[in-house]
């Protein structure tokens, strides 16, 4: 098999964003197997697929490299808690809640 050549796009903070279905504004996740559905071309793709035309960077990636953000993904927070780096009470004091969203 040949080597996959990745293309990159630099955002406004000079961060290289891999051009692929996962970083495109037109993707949506379909199921648990990381298959992306293209909202523009209505086709299913693997997350690393790059279509020949139509790729536009997802606006959420425009702030990558800005700094000052906090990681809030549930998977990462569970990893941190399970590894003992922070316990739930310390995390709750710093962030106000141990839940990702308040109701």
* Boundaries of domain holding 80: 68-97
As a whole number, the mean pLDDT across the chain is 76
Region for 34 from its dihedrals, namely left if φ exceeds 0, alpha if ψ lies in -120 to 50, beta otherwise? left
Q: In this structure, are 86 and 74 located in the same domain?
A: yes
**Does the reported pTM lie above 0.85?**
no
pLDDT in tens, 43-56: 887 777 777 778 88
Tokens 């293209």 locate to 38
Q: What is the mean pLDDT of residues 56-61?
A: 89
Q: In this structure, are 44 and 74 located in the same domain?
A: no
Q: In this structure, are 38 and 85 located in the same domain?
A: no
DSSP 2: P
Burial class (CB in 10 A: 0-12, 13-18, 19+), 23: buried
Lowest mean pLDDT among 36-40, 44-48, 49-53, 83-87: 83-87
Q: In this structure, are 4 and 46 located in the same domain?
A: yes
Residues β-bridged to residue 30? 35
């Amino acid at each position: 098999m040949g080597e996959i050549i990745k293309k990159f796009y630099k955002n406004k903070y000079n961060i290289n964003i891999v051009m692929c279905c996962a970083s495109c504004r037109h993707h949506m996740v379909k199921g648990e197997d990381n298959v992306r559905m293209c909202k523009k071309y209505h086709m299913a793709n693997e997350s690393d697929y790059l279509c020949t035309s139509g790729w536009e960077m997802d606006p959420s990636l425009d702030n990558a490299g800005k700094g000052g953000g906090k990681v809030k993904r549930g998977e990462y927070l569970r990893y941190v808690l399970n590894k003992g780096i922070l316990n739930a009470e310390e995390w709750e004091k710093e962030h106000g809640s141990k839940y990702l969203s308040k109701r």
